[in-house]
């Protein structure tokens, strides 16, 4: 092997060391880049040269070259932030983004997002985050641009009221049931307070009309026999164009319990079926009361039982609400985006999707913290965070670069010494050549 070949071999070593320093420099430069994944230079030796020696044929190396620069997709540390749309992935997966100007999708671990003027969730480059949009608290099954409606939440009238309660079997039987003529629940005669005081047990809840107006509904229970109860839902007649403070009957019915206190039958008579009623200025209204059974004996939401202890309510839920403005958003670990409104409602606004690939090594950097998929990466599997091999999401948090500064400094020292050693080989070879030329 000639001295000139030695120069070439040492030169390849300089190139390898320079490449490694370039990769290290890029890693260090991006140590504060959110979601950045560090790289590592991998080298391979060149094809050796055959040489004939005294003991037979042998091989002499001719140096090395850069084989590839691979991206290291290890988890970066997660730090807190003050933005609800700052999202960190804990585990595998990538956010999927779409640029309006091109059809191809991009992928990133950088979870710095915000809403643009149209309500789309975008990154700093204007790329739209992909996920499942929601309508009426139901998620779509189609992945598309995530968009949040920042307008006021339209009011919704109460159509269903669910009650979870216990009624005391220690109550005396009523000799004059409320609907036997002791009260006239026409909104002009008997007060709501008198009806509640006369009942064995009463509770109240706010319901809403079609305009979003709140109204207090009182539900009174009266024990009529060992296993039979009557129930009455009344509101203030003054809110329906009648006399203020007087009880107006919206709905009533009967409850029957067995010896174990389990409801065996339920009836409801809604006065709107015969005489439509409405709150002043609002549409006609009808409310379904769910106490555990419907009139056909089929289980429903709610649970009203009879016990020997005192009567009590453990839960009352109704589906109406007034209008409200969006004041806060939050993203849970499954990617569900929920909005809190000034009216107290918590509404599902959408769900962030994550993409997973058969092979991360096939992903190619595209700048701006983005990756492009290639054939080597395989087709992306887009789905819900926390399912399959996809990681979970952390809101109010960001994933930092996974570059370890200490390791980079160690690698930099090694690369520097490697460069110096190869340079020394070139210097030595040059000196030897000079001696050879002088001999000639």
The CATH number that applies at residue 213 is 2.60.98.20
- The torsion region of residue 367 among left (phi > 0), alpha (psi -120 to 50) and beta comes to left
Q: Is 303 helix (H, G, I), strand (E, B) or coil?
A: strand
User: Does one domain contain both 202 and 266?
Assistant: yes
Q: Domain boundary residue among 291, 318, 345?
A: 318
Q: Please, which residues have CB within 8 angstroms of residue 216's CB and are 6 or more apart in sequence?
A: 204, 205, 206, 207, 235, 236
For the chain, what is the total number of helices (H) and then of strands (E)? 3, 33
User: Does one domain contain both 287 and 164?
Assistant: yes
Sign of the C-alpha dihedral computed for residues 155, 161, 163 and 167 taken in this order:
positive
- Please list, residue by residue across 46-83, b when 16 or more beta carbons sit within 10 angstroms of its beta carbon and e when fewer do: eeeeeeeeeeeeeeeebbeebeeeebebebbeeeebee
Give pLDDT, residue 388. Answer: 93
* Domain total in the chain: 3
The per-residue pLDDT string of the chain (440 residues; one tens digit each, 9 = 90 and over) reads: 577 778 888 888 899 999 999 999 999 999 999 999 999 999 888 877 767 667 767 778 788 888 889 999 999 999 999 999 999 999 999 999 999 877 678 999 999 999 999 999 999 999 999 999 998 889 999 999 999 988 889 999 999 999 999 999 998 887 677 776 778 889 999 999 999 999 999 999 999 999 999 999 999 999 998 999 999 999 999 999 999 999 999 999 999 999 999 999 999 998 877 778 899 999 999 999 999 999 999 999 999 999 999 999 999 999 999 999 999 999 999 999 999 999 989 999 999 999 999 999 999 999 999 999 999 999 999 999 999 999 999 999 999 999 999 999 999 999 999 999 989 988 888 888 888 788 76
Please check whether residue 323 lies inside any domain of the structure: no
User: Does one domain contain both 300 and 172?
Assistant: yes
pTM strictly above 0.85: no
Q: Domain boundary residue among 265, 289, 318?
A: 318
User: Does one domain contain both 418 and 284?
Assistant: no
Task: Classify residue 426 by burial, with Cβ atoms within 10 Å: 0-12, 13-18, 19+.
Answer: middle
Give pLDDT, residue 56. Answer: 67
Give the DSSP H or E segment for 117.
none
Q: How far is CA 163 from the centre of its chain?
A: 30
- State which residues form the domain around 381: 81-153+328-399
* CA-to-CA dists, residue 439 to 107, 116, 166, 436, angstroms: 64, 77, 112, 5
User: Does one domain contain both 204 and 311?
Assistant: yes
- Using CA atoms, how far apart are residues 387 and 23, in angstroms rounded to an integer? 34
Which backbone phi and psi does 331 adopt, to 5 degrees? -120, 125
The answer to whether the beta carbons of residues 314 and 298 sit under 8 Å apart is no
User: Does one domain contain both 282 and 428?
Assistant: no
Give pLDDT, residue 140. Answer: 94
User: Does one domain contain both 222 and 279?
Assistant: yes
The answer to whether the beta carbons of residues 93 and 390 sit under 8 Å apart is yes
The answer to whether the beta carbons of residues 399 and 111 sit under 8 Å apart is yes
User: Does one domain contain both 246 and 263?
Assistant: yes
User: Does one domain contain both 235 and 300?
Assistant: yes
User: Does one domain contain both 173 and 202?
Assistant: yes
- Using CA atoms, how far apart are residues 25 and 41, in angstroms rounded to an integer? 12
The answer to whether the beta carbons of residues 415 and 117 sit under 8 Å apart is no
User: Does one domain contain both 207 and 314?
Assistant: yes
Which backbone phi and psi does 85 adopt, to 5 degrees? -95, 10
Q: What is the DSSP letter of 243?
A: -
- Using CA atoms, how far apart are residues 259 and 235, in angstroms rounded to an integer? 33
């Amino acid at each position: 092997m000639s001295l000139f070949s030695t120069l070439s071999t040492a030169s390849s070593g300089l190139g390898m060391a320079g490449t490694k320093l370039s990769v290290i420099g890029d890693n260090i430069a991006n140590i504060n880049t959110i979601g950045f994944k560090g790289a590592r230079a991998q080298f391979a030796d060149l094809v050796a040269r055959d040489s004939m020696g005294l003991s037979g044929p042998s091989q002499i190396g001719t140096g090395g070259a850069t084989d590839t620069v691979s991206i290291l997709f290890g988890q970066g540390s997660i730090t807190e932030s003050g933005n609800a749309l700052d999202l960190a992935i804990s585990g595998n997966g990538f956010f999927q983004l779409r640029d309006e100007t091109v059809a191809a999708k991009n992928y990133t671990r950088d979870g710095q997002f915000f809403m643009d003027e149209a309500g789309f969730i975008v990154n700093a480059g204007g790329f739209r985050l992909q996920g499942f949009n929601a309508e009426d608290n139901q998620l779509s099954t189609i992945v598309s641009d995530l968009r949040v409606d920042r307008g006021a939440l339209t009011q919704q009238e109460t159509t269903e009221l669910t009650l979870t309660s216990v009624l005391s079997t220690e109550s005396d039987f009523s000799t004059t049931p409320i609907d036997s003529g002791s009260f006239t629940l026409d909104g002009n005669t008997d007060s709501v307070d008198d009806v509640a005081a006369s009942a064995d047990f009463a509770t109240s809840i706010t319901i809403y009309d079609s305009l979003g107006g709140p109204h207090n509904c009182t539900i009174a229970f009266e024990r009529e026999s060992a296993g039979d109860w009557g129930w009455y839902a009344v509101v203030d007649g003054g809110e329906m164009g009648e006399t203020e403070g007087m009880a107006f009957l919206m709905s009533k019915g009967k409850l029957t319990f067995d010896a174990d206190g389990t409801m065996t039958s339920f009836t409801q008579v809604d006065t709107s079926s015969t005489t439509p009623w409405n709150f002043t200025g609002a549409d006609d209204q009808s409310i379904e009361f769910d106490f555990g059974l419907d009139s056909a004996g089929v289980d429903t939401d709610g649970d009203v039982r009879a016990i020997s202890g005192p009567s009590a309510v453990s839960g009352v839920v109704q589906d109406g609400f007034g209008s409200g403005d969006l004041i806060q958003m939050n993203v849970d670990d499954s990617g569900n985006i929920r909005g809190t409104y000034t009216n107290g409602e918590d509404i599902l606004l959408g769900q962030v999707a994550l993409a997973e690939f058969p092979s991360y090594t096939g992903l190619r950097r595209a700048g701006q913290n983005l990756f492009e998929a290639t054939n080597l990466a395989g087709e992306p599997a887009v789905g819900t965070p926390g399912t399959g091999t996809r990681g979970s999401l952390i809101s109010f948090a960001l994933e930092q670069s996974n570059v370890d500064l200490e390791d980079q400094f160690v690698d930099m020292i090694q690369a520097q010494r490697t460069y110096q050693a190869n340079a020394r080989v070139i210097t030595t070879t040059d000196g030897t050549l000079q001696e050879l030329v002088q001999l000639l």
